[in-house]
Amino acid sequence: MTAFAPTYRDRDRRRGTYNAYVPGSLSEASLTLSATTQLLAAQAEARVNHLNASPDVAAAGQFLLRSEAITSSRIEGITPTAHNVVLAELGRHERVKGVTPEAHDTVRHIMLLKGATTRLARTPLVTMADLLELHDGLMPTSPDHHGLRLTQSWRGGTSRNPLDARFVSPPPELVPELTEDLLSYLNGAVHAPLIQAALVHAQFETLQPFVVDNSRVGRMLIQMVLARRGLLTGAALPMSLVMETMRYRYVEELYPTYEPGQAEETGTEDLGAGHEKWIILFLTLVILACDEAKRIAAEIADIRADWEERLQHWSEQNNDNRALREGSAASRILPDLPGTPMLTIGTAAKTYGVTRTAAARGLETLVTAGILTTEKVGSRLRAYTAPSVVKAITWVDSRLERKLAAARLPAPARLGPETYHGVDRASRMPQRQRKSTTTS
């Protein structure tokens, strides 16, 4: 590990030095794990494989993706209501009213997560441009925050300087090379999928390559690795939920995760020396996330069963014991409602390739059956909403609050003692004042 120790003078005339943490290469390092950790990795991978094969999870895949993005955003203090999120999703296709900026932000996150687990899961190589697109897409109206950081960042302490920080990220001039190394490792398959996901996330959080919004990107990278390796497809593990409920252990094991290993003389380092505690925690979080995913999928399965009962009751009331005609608009809309809980006649017609008349008939059938409700969402625009799905989104979202309360943890906030800070080193720390040292 190389540490940079620049002299620093802040606006209060305080002088001192600090060590910036510089991890070694992921793509070139070896990895030695204990037999116990290897067994835990195999057990966690088996749990994810079982989850991936579950019909209930497959049916709830888009719901799980949305929930992961919502929780990840909530951790950063972005807290729109479930109804406003689904309204913002509809707003991508229709001119709706009443969408909050936080809901727009969350929906951008949802779409980027979908892209990370589909398009970027299929591409042969994830490039720097892909990573920048993933980050910059979270804040399209903030170009000053786009691109790799050009400033020093640190965790803890004050926003004025890193002298009292608990962790200082690598200097900005090293970030491009270290990020390219991270992408090289991400594009490979040297280690098992969950080990790779753990190391990718840890390295990314260590680098903090962007000025802001590193954490949401870091959590998306976990889902991307799982999708690229074929471990979980069409869904997302609720990692944000379990990470936030174990946030203190998460921070304790993650910073720093990289220490010199036993192969230092040959120019390589053993990842296991500094990462094993973090890997054990990550694998534990994966198992807990599988449990949460099963609960969420079961909730969606219960909602679907209720819809079937409502349709059966509707058909009996209308003296029509036949199921919905196969291929009808209603029969095609129904299974997609957990992923698309708010539609208009126009979006339904376009999505399912039917006429507006057929779309209207299908939507009204589901209203009559008590599955959808209607609401005005814009000038002369009526939406059809699945309230049970909106309630389920709220239920999942509230699980975070309940778990935090049970663990006696404060609710997420955008600013706090563990927030990353950053300064422009070029303007506040002249080049001539910097020196580098090597520590063990």
CA distance 122 to 110: 18
Does 124 share its domain with 166? yes
For residue 268, is pLDDT > 70? no
Last residue of a domain, one of 265, 288, 311: 288
Q: Tally the residues of the chain.
A: 440
pLDDT over threshold 50, residue 260: no
Residues 217 and 316 in one domain: no
Question: What is the four-CA torsion angle of 126, 130, 132, 135, rounded to 10 degrees?
Answer: -100
The upper half-sphere exposure of residue 241, i.e. CA atoms within 13 Å in the direction of its Cβ, equals 29
- pLDDT higher than 80, residue 193: yes
Contact 332, 353 (CB under 8 A): no
Does a structural domain hold residue 230? Answer: yes
The reported pLDDT for the residue numbered 296 is 97
- C-alpha distance from residue 262 to each of 1, 73, 256, 313 (Å): 13, 39, 18, 69
Instruction: Calculate mean pLDDT across residues 10-24.
Output: 72
Q: What is the CATH number of the domain that holds 6?
A: 1.10.3290.10
Number of continuous H segments (helices) and E segments (strands) in the chain? 18, 11
pLDDT attached to residue 424: 41
- Please say whether the beta carbons of 263 and 20 come within 8 A: no
Query: What pLDDT, in 10s, does the model give residues 18-41?
Result: 788 888 899 888 889 999 999 999
Residue 414 lies in a domain: no
Q: Which domain covers residue 53, as residue numbers?
A: 2-288
pLDDT on residue 76? 92
pLDDT value at position 412? 59
**pLDDT beyond 60 at 399:** yes
Average pLDDT, the chain: 85
Percent of the chain with pLDDT over 70: 82
Q: Residues 159, 255: one domain?
A: yes
d(CA 107, CA 90): 10
Decide: 207 and 38 in contact? Cβ < 8 Å.
no
Q: What is the pLDDT of residue 321?
A: 54
- The verdict on residue 278 lying in a domain is yes
At residue 410, does pLDDT exceed 70? Answer: no
The CATH number of residue 370's host domain is: 1.10.10.10
Going by C-alpha positions, the residue among 233, 178, 230, 200 that lies closest to residue 24 is: 178
**Does residue 258 have a pLDDT over 50?**
no
Which structure tokens are listed for 160? Answer: 């004025």
Parallel/antiparallel/unpaired status of strands 342-343 and 20-22: unpaired
**Do residues 313 and 269 share a domain?**
no
> Any idea what DSSP says for residue 20?
E
Task: Count the domains in the chain.
Answer: 2
Rounded to whole angstroms, the Cα distance separating 221 from 334 reads: 31
Tell whether 262 and 208 lie within a shared domain. Answer: yes
Quick check: is 407 in a domain? no
Confidence of residue 417 (pLDDT cuts 50, 70, 90): very low
pLDDT 10s digits, 55-65: 999 999 999 99
pLDDT value at position 427? Answer: 29
Same domain, 248 and 305: no
- Whether residue 339 sits in one domain with residue 282: no
Contact 68, 112 (CB under 8 A): no
pLDDT at residue 255 in the model: 75
pLDDT digits (tens, 9 = 90+) for 169-188: 999 999 999 999 999 999 99
For range 349-368, the mean pLDDT: 95
- Tens of pLDDT along 64-103? 999 999 999 999 999 999 999 999 999 999 999 999 999 9
Residue 422 located in a structural domain: no
Q: What is the mean pLDDT of residues 365-379?
A: 95
Residue 29, pLDDT score: 82
Query: Residue 122: its pLDDT value, please?
Result: 96
On whether both 199 and 140 belong to a single domain, the answer is: yes
End-of-domain residue from the set 288, 316, 345: 288
Kindly state whether residue 229 falls inside one of the protein's structural domains.
Answer: yes
273 falls in which pLDDT band (50, 70, 90)?
Answer: low
- Span 394-420, mean pLDDT? 64
Alpha carbon 116 to its chain's center: 10
Of 251, 267, 288, the last residue of a domain is: 288
**Do 231 and 314 belong together in one domain?**
no
Would residue 197 count as lying in a domain?
Answer: yes
Q: Are 20 and 3 in contact (CB under 8 A)?
A: yes
Structural contact between residues 74 and 400, judged by C-beta atoms closer than 8 angstroms: yes
One domain, residues 318 and 208: no
Q: How far apart are CA 178 and CA 185, in angstroms?
A: 11
27 and 68 share a domain? Answer: yes
Whether residue 251 is found in the same domain as residue 316 = no
What would the pLDDT profile of 128-159 be if each residue is shown by its tens digit?
A: 999 999 999 999 988 989 999 999 998 877 77
The verdict on residue 294 lying in a domain is no
Phi, then psi, of 390 in degrees rounded to 5: -60, -40
pLDDT at 413: 52
Residue 402 — very low, low, confident or very high, per pLDDT cuts 50/70/90?
confident
**423 strand-pairing partners:** 152
How confident is the model at residue 372, as a pLDDT? Answer: 98
